[in-house]
Structure 1
């Protein structure tokens, strides 16, 4: 199905499958200093509280995976676990497309809030999240254990029409 959240007709969102993992892992390794393993993604796909989406660019004779998102739905809360876009596909509103889908899922599942952790140094991601109404709620000290970097806890209460539009 063509995504109603994306600006271009040539992009679709669909649930992540095991067949997607080679491409997902390539984006994961290019995006994170401590990437998840194939096994971690396989486990994620089997967890009932997990929702995993992929974003595809449709080309004349093929399709290209350009991003993905994983979130958990727990006790009326959406917890964003992962969001990543292929490096060469960034700055084209693809993360915004994925975030809009996250908020639509939250509304569909009647969630009351959205929460996530983000590296304190990841200003670009923080700006994206702020665009959707998320604000800093606290700090998790040394959350990213490999580097000892703190995470900002960001969140927002739902429903918020401004969060759904990203304005």
Structure 2
């Protein structure tokens, strides 16, 4: 059975595509790309069809991670597509997920899995341009998330 991981933020151009790209790299490096499917979406339709923010693309590129995905909005099918871990970038995103889809079994904030930060919400770099800081938070959360999924799913 394939496990699906869907990263969610507001517009799907900064935080969630960054998390998608970082997590995909970790999954590939662990040899789990046939077992874990990775995607991202936004709670809003503000940026549907757009490339990731230039700041996200820049910081990913500096870390040797390619990303050419385009923003999309959450769809009803996202909640009915097998076993899905919904990974919100902040509490507001998690609340939107619960409002739209009800009581899903696997809704978490990414930084619930981080081990090197007391921060709970990934700040939106769209307004602060702090993409390097956000990258460090997201990478920490993604490493912890992969470890948790490997344990929970016996991978």
TM-score above 0.5, yes or no: no
> Looking at CA atoms only, which structure, 1 or 2, has the larger radius of gyration?
1
- TM bracket, shorter-chain basis: 0.3 to 0.5
User: If each structure's helix is expressed as a fraction of its own residues, which one has the higher value?
Assistant: 2
